[in-house]
Chains A and B, each alone.
Chain A
Amino acid sequence: MVGRQRIFVRRRDGRIEVRLNDVGRSVAREAFGHVVAAERDPNHEWHVILNAPIDPSNDQDDPVATLNREHDTSTNAELAVMTLNDQFLNDAEAWAWLCTLQVALRSTAIANGLLSDEKLAACGPELLDYVRTLQAFLFELADCF
């Protein structure tokens, strides 16, 4: 899926080239889709994770702050979905990809109880492969910034 060459490459014109094949893009599509769905659906498994407390000492967070978080997370995820099949990303689009992939990675980890290195090492091969794939995407994309 990943191949030997790099997945994301910063070109001389400033754009970031996406070298994911169809399988790689389907993994990204699934991750982005879950984040979009989780923001919209209160029953989604990740919805609570995306609405973590800002100030745990308060019973309720500032509604403006939570609204901003919801808006920004949705905007990033929707931008990532819209550019999913693009061969080149600009900085804003690449940042949206990075944020959304990271949200998906951490939500996957929390939803599956992967809260320690030991738990991560002990999880099933399919889940571990998915986590490692998202980590590989993030690792290479971060290298472009």
Chain B
Amino acid sequence: MTLPLYDAGLPLRPAVCDTGVVGAVKPLQRTESDTEVITGDAVETRRPWNVVVWNDPVTPMSVVVVIFRKIFGYSNNKCTQLMMTVHHEGRCIVWSGERGRAQTYCVKLQVAGLQSTIEQEQ
């Protein structure tokens, strides 16, 4: 049986992750590796999916901040920090977690006109 491991407190990027800790999943046990979780007899490896926003030369900075705030509900300061990272580094991970949600956020960002992709954490 595959358990929903991401919401069980796996170490996601603290600066960009908005998934909460769910304590209801009992049979989980941490191993020495950060990405391995023992579930009964099976050892599963799950790496989170990142939502990446890419820089472009035409989008006004304030628009990026508004879109981040609207889609993720982050604070204005956090949205500004993320926007500046996109601007200076060419890309920025704006959310990490379960694949389905990452895909949904990526689509929302694309619908809002930002260049966005998903990628699995290395």
Binding site for B on A (CB under 8 A): 52-57, 62, 65, 68-69, 72-73, 76, 95, 98-106, 108-109, 114-117, 119-120, 131, 135, 138-139, 142-143, 145
Give the residue of B63, B65, B67, B103 whose beta carbon is less than 8 angstroms from that of A54.
B103
Residue tally, chain B, CB below 8 Å to A: 27
Please determine whether A76 and B63 come into contact, CB atoms closer than 8 angstroms.
Answer: no
Q: Taking beta carbons and an 8 Å cutoff, which residues of B are in contact with A?
A: 56-60, 62-63, 65-67, 69-70, 103-104, 106-108, 110-115, 117-120
Q: Which of B59, B65, B119 is packed against the most chain A CB atoms within 10 Å? A: B59
Number of A-B residue pairs with CB-CB distance less than 8 Å in the complex they form: 94
By a CB distance below 8 angstroms, the chain A residues around B111 are: 69, 72-73, 76, 99, 103
Q: Could you say which of B60, B69, B112, B115 contacts A99, with CB atoms under 8 Å apart?
A: B112
**Cβ of A139 and Cβ of B63 under 8 Å apart?**
yes
Q: Cβ of A105: which chain B residues have Cβ within 8 Å of it?
A: 58-59, 113
Q: Is the CB of B107 within 8 A of A109?
A: no
Task: Note all chain A residues with C-beta closer than 8 A to B104.
Answer: 65, 68
Measured in the bound complex, the distance between the Cα atoms of B119 and A80 in whole Å is 32
Asked if A72 and B107 sit within 8 Å, CB to CB, the answer is: yes
Q: How far is the CB of A54 from chain B (nearest CB, A)?
A: 5
Name the one of A53, A57, A117 contacting B120, with C-beta atoms under 8 angstroms: A57
